[in-house]
Structure 1
């Protein structure tokens, strides 16, 4: 896999330009099949997106699911049927090639991974791009907080929970959460900062006591990589865009395509464009 150097702390227009250039580099390398890794820490200051692609017959109901669960599924973009280009999110984005790794579901069952879905594309397919917690990581770093997944160069830890979503007609299921450990004072600061980013899942949905939300073993995430929880730290949980993959398993559409957990579409959008003061 081709390595892409991570950038840090974009605080000037020059840094923003560097992040946009890196976002385009990540997409181009993904398009060429040369970058297939997690996108956490890349193109800091720019929004990343979870992906759900469905036939039009199923897309309208999934839109209702997103509208009923805006914290879990904050919409960044919805394509026209059959349109693979997402110009509102960045320069020359082709959703069929520009995600590092895709997951393909048939009748709700995960059946394959791919780095290119051109051979699966249908004229009725609708793409949903949903906000991702990777987007606010830069704001946490700029505030002086340390992120364990980035420090360890690991994928973020993600867990199934017992927190129910609001169902639509076809889509339902429990929430998946991402976890980042902090000391208590830093956890409070993380809540304050991420509240400004509702399009990136916003404030945490739970702090501490993982068993209270159905997580029996914090050292064994359902998706992503385990990271150490050190003495004096509390786990902080955010809503996660992997949740729709569980809803897809329950709804059983004939075909659905998503991103692989932790491997997002990196856009050209600034997080500040999507933030609230």
Structure 2
């Protein structure tokens, strides 16, 4: 597979202005710069986004391009150095197979920097989103979502495909019609909203947090649930529950937490 890395040139950018702010934080100084870019999809069927120390927000848009509004931040011991560093931060674009990749890069990965990204993305793309110390919010239903963060919440909606959502020290919320889901976090609650008659495979693993499965009707799968220092509560119609260690046959959802209740609610 051949990778074609390139920095977005001025010809590929649609700029709504470049604004720099300088703020004090503890003994350091910080500078921010804002930038808006539009990247053609070409034949891409997926989008991978990589940043750090910042949030990722995705909403739907029609058209043949991804639109990204980025807010870069750099920290340094002086205002001048912070400005220099924030000017060196870039949003790099490249094609990897069938995916468009957008990645925030810096000359020195050890420098203190971050970027919050707000993206408008066509609905047919599969999403792969990666950040740290920031929330991930997917505000429309995409066919497939993988989202990974730390010290941040995750909110996603999936239509027909898989959802793989991972965080630490943050809550996770999933909605839509996923064929399957895998959710993992710590020190955070997990809520999954499913349509009536949903049948698929799923797993939820958290600690020090509650798990809630909300179904608009009867679930069409078996469920196993394990928790400690809390209760498992069933609300609504009948549900096929499997005991710990039992082998599942057919569609199945496993729920596991500690120090938190598990609620399965069928409307």
Provide the TM-score with structure 2 as the length reference: 0.23
Whichever structure has more helix as a proportion of its residues is 1
Tell me: higher relative CO, structure 1 or 2? Use CA pairs within 8 A at least 6 residues apart: 1
Whichever structure has more strand as a proportion of its residues is 2
Larger radius of gyration: 2
